[in-house]
Amino acid sequence: MFNHPTRRTTLLGLTAAIGAFPRIGPAFGQTDPLPSWNDGPAKQAIVSFVTRVTTQGGPDFVPVEQRIATFDNDGTLWSEQPVYFQFAYALDRIRVMSKDHPDWKDKQPYKAVLEGDHATLAALGDKGTMELMAATHTGMTVDAFGKDVADWMRTARHPRFNRPYSDLVYQPMLELLAYLRANGFKAFIVSGGGVEFMRPWVEKIYGIPPEQVVGSSGKVEYRLVGDKPELLKLSQIEFVDDGPGKPAGINRFIGRRPVFAAGNSDGDLQMLQWTTLNDGPNFAMIVHHTDAAREWAYDRTSSIGKLDKALDEAPKRGWLVVDMKSDWKVIYPFQK
Amino acid sequence: MFNHPTRRTTLLGLTAAIGAFPRIGPAFGQTDPLPSWNDGPAKQAIVSFVTRVTTQGGPDFVPVEQRIATFDNDGTLWSEQPVYFQFAYALDRIRVMSKDHPDWKDKQPYKAVLEGDHATLAALGDKGTMELMAATHTGMTVDAFGKDVADWMRTARHPRFNRPYSDLVYQPMLELLAYLRANGFKAFIVSGGGVEFMRPWVEKIYGIPPEQVVGSSGKVEYRLVGDKPELLKLSQIEFVDDGPGKPAGINRFIGRRPVFAAGNSDGDLQMLQWTTLNDGPNFAMIVHHTDAAREWAYDRTSSIGKLDKALDEAPKRGWLVVDMKSDWKVIYPFQK
């Protein structure tokens, strides 16, 4: 994703004439690290921040070990419509598991899943949703669950794009992750999603290792079965990494305050506050879903990824609001 | 700590004659990475494991990203006598706080702390201990607590050695951490101690960054006070990272199974099992406290750092039992 052959070829061929080139943004003299971002204030703000904090001797220099960046996942690194992809996994899993649970065909909320009864599913509420999540996310070992998630990620297809869910990651955000990494940042995912659901695939898809994933979690129980140790996933919730839980999760797992944070919904509000209402250089951005043609458009009234308070707070706090429609040249890697 | 001037000088001066040198252990041809370890089976076992898993193309090669090492802290990386150092912090803190709590001089368990009544303190039990921990570890922000711990680490003195507590780290273990790091391992602390207590000093003392510390934790509450966000430490316990909690903590925070683990007590038993009862190359070691003259000698009947079941299990599992007295040339850096 760092290839930008035209400019690179030109520069390599004409280094003697370099002084005659117009200055094209701060990345002049290098390949563009963010080729899927349209030139404009959003891209400029990001490049300017990264340049400032990595300029040794500059007033805003941040030592490498303090370059912590935190990214929400759903709606920030990949899509979250028409349902959170983890919930799509749960629904698929209910269908697979139903062959061992004949009673489910007459029992809600399972019945609605098996019949594709979207109206009932949409009206499930927390209790019904949690029941489906518990049925599909607990009672097995962590290893078995991870394998099943990895299988699903390989085989399941997103209903709108008929592609693996992991194809619905945002190309501009992949470039941003790589750009930050190349500049000494350590990027963490800080998601309301389940940590066990993300770990099997984040390294391959985002280049973020499993130990840099903070998420919601259920309790696990350690058991030694013969000479084989297991961690059994229990139904009790351990930690909800959303809203005010995000600064708590950042503190618990990372133990440093981020200097860069990206989110897309009110569930990220406190993470953005925690990152920016702080001395020293920092940066926060909101991915605003404005592109119904290429992705989805939603914000203040959406049941998924509701963005209301954080959108109001953004100008006051100086948070960058990224307009997907106008700021992003492409949305998904397969559109390149 | 990698300096071994005699051998290095000799080798640099006599590279042509190198074939004539006797083979001095597996590190021949390099400076000794573990100079504070006596030559013998313990040192050999460690070097042999690291050599095997880092030999590209070898049958036991482990890719860099999977080189996860987990270390218990109390009794494994630093001393834990006559009381856990975190408890020594709590006792010192009670003394400082007592000027704002005049009632404590007549109220247990505070009275015993203020009077230095060791018999009562030793008989406190979980309830009294937890009361002292809650009084000193909760009700303030995470930032304020971290600053206080850092101050204490600078100013408090260990009663036996009259030195800062952080001087009582084990020189051979510092060398082991550096050796593993130099060989691409990522080392995590996985301690029953409080994660907030360790984070302020682990990077400086061990070279382990705060985001690689797994520990016990209390709940925190996020608050926005005016435009200043805070994380308030609450008295509810969130997670106990001890015994079977260690594999759970490793899974929660790291999300990979370690290939190397070090502990010293039965509180590490399940971590050692989780690391070694597994396919693929792995290594576990127990620091056995056998040196009453230079440190302390204790194991099966000790109230702190009891080592009983894990010591019985070690031979069956092939865990290395390090004898501090005979395997370590020096214990603390100040003894070098």
Q: Report the residue of A199, A203, A208, A211 to disrupt the B interface, i.e. the one with the largest count of B CBs within 10 Å.
A: A211
Q: Which of A335, A329, A86 is nearest to A194 (CA)?
A: A86
pLDDT tens-digit readout, B54-90: 999 999 999 999 999 999 999 999 999 999 999 999 9
Domain ranges of chain B: 5-19+41-335
Question: Are B251 and A219 an interchain contact pair (Cβ–Cβ within 8 Å)?
Answer: no
Closest-CA distance, B228 to chain A, in angstroms, reads 6
Q: In the block, which residue shows the tokens 């000790």? A: B302
Residue B311 CA, chain-centre distance (Å), reads 18
Architecture of the B5-19+41-335 domain: 3-Layer(aba) Sandwich (3.40)
Question: Are B211 and A247 an interchain contact pair (Cβ–Cβ within 8 Å)?
Answer: no
Question: Are B255 and A210 an interchain contact pair (Cβ–Cβ within 8 Å)?
Answer: yes
**Please, what is the average pLDDT of chain B?**
92
- Chain B residues 187-216 with CB within 8 Å of chain A: 188, 195, 199, 203, 209-213
pLDDT tens-digit readout, B200-247: 999 999 999 999 999 999 999 999 999 999 999 999 999 999 999 999
The pTM is what? Answer: 0.90
Tell me what pLDDT residue A15 has. Answer: 35
The arithmetic mean of pLDDT across residues A250-273, rounded, is 98
A226–chain B Cβ distance below 8 A for any pair: no
Q: Chain A residues with CB inside 8 Å of B213's CB?
A: 255
The answer on pLDDT for A18 being more than 60 is: no
Closest-CA distance, B289 to chain A, in angstroms, reads 27
The arithmetic mean of pLDDT across residues B307-331, rounded, is 98
Q: Report the residue of A217, A222, A259 to disrupt the B interface, i.e. the one with the largest count of B CBs within 10 Å.
A: A222
ipTM of the complex: 0.89
Closest-CA distance, A90 to chain B, in angstroms, reads 21
A14 vs A151, more confident: A151
Give bridge partners of residue A216 from the DSSP assignment. A194
B256–chain A Cβ distance below 8 A for any pair: yes
